Amino acid sequence: MKTFPMFLQTQGRRVIIAGGGEQAAQKCRLILKTEAAITVLAPTLEPELAGLCAEGRIVWRPGPITPDDFQDAMLVFVATGCPATDVCLHGLAKSVGATVNVVDQPHLCDALTPSIVDRSPVVVAIGTEGTAPVLARQIKTRLEEILEPRLGDLAALAGRLRSRANARLAPRARRDLWRWVFTGPPRNTHAQGGEREAAQMIKAAIDTETFDQERGGSVALVGAGSGAADLITLRGVQRLQEADIIFYDRLIAPDVLDLARRDAERVYVGKSPGCHHWPQHKITGVLVTAARQGKRVVRLKCGDPGVFARGVEEADALKAANIPFEIVPGVTAASAASAALGGFLTERGTCDTLVLATGRSEAADQDHAWLDALRPGTRVAVYMGVGASAKIAQGLIDAGLDDHITVDIVSRAQQKDQVIARCSARTLVQTIAENDISNPAILFLTWPRSMVAVQECDVVVRM
């Protein structure tokens, strides 16, 4: 971010608007939504500003503008409509250290005006760092549709009842209460005009502690998708935002963790090849311990928790400890890699059998068990197969399949450093070495029904 979003206290603080025309009026309309004290500096005022001055809602100073006019201002808007005059006034304001916004000149702005969705006290600000104001307005329009008009009144009611809830409920119960208020019957009732009924529901829930809440801890085994933050499911995002503690893998992108509640504890439990600081039994142990402490736990895994992610071992441990858990599916790497290739995992008439395999099995003699499944119309997706590429290539050659199988490699699917390569079994190892391809990667071994000549030349595409 080049700019940092922040809400500033405006009550009783001075905001200066330099200019008396339509641009200044636009800024004045915006600041009048706050409780700031507005002073307009201009030789003359257009009718709207003149009316506001007559009503006593703004202060007008028509004399010459000096640096003293900007002293102690919380914020200065320069909006005369004349670019050269704006530059001069910007210099005067900066000479006394003011924070300045110059209309239509973002390079002179210390602060940028966002598009605002106002459901006071709920306020949503949308900014594009001055690059795309039209896009900001489009987003604002969508949010206006999503957030019901009375939402601010419900938030204000919750604020008035917060001290009552704090006095009667434990922290975990308070979080459950407000989640129930804003996702359950109180919000629906309030949105339909039942403000009094909603208030009575919330008060009764606080006094009797009768609302939808979880008793004890729970665990969600959440698939984060293949790496890109926008490939996690909506349910996965919801679980992250509800979590008290998150145990996450080595390949989880920081953008995915940013979707979690800010105050949720984050614990890295990643395992890299040959370096297991967090062996599986230790991971299952901390999941059980955290849940027994009454926490909402998220075990965040790459891809899908049910595909080569050792989810079964964690689920078995939770079952044995009588801890409730749920499985939240994710976009598995094979799906993401296939989409990156611009194709599909199965294709009617060409490839109607899909096999998911791993490049390294627990039993070494089972490493190439998928070879028996290869026949016309079959595609094998080999997870984490780069390290086993030499054995995979040799297995295909020894089985006499090298002239039948096409090999597609997708490394870091759907991420900024994604690499795509196509080769034959005979050039697989060379392609990986020459293009510095590494895990996480998927190898697609495809034997199409309609046989085409296998390409001997390598095709490599980098994002």
The residues annotated as belonging to the active site are 249, 271
Cα distance between the two ends of the chain? 23
Distance CA(147)–CA(209), nearest Å, equals 28
CA max distance for the chain: 93
Exposed/middle/buried for residue 114 (C-beta within 10 Å: 0-12, 13-18, 19+) = middle
Q: What are the C-alpha distances in Å from 162 to residues 165, 208, 218, 365?
A: 5, 15, 26, 62
Are 414 and 228 in contact, with CB atoms under 8 Å apart?
Answer: yes
Single-letter amino acid code for the residue at 51: G
Are 224 and 300 in contact, with CB atoms under 8 Å apart?
Answer: yes
Are 427 and 348 in contact, with CB atoms under 8 Å apart?
Answer: no
Are 184 and 154 in contact, with CB atoms under 8 Å apart?
Answer: no
Distance CA(165)–CA(159), nearest Å, equals 10
Which residue, 168, 176, 170, 197, is CA-closest to 185?
Answer: 197
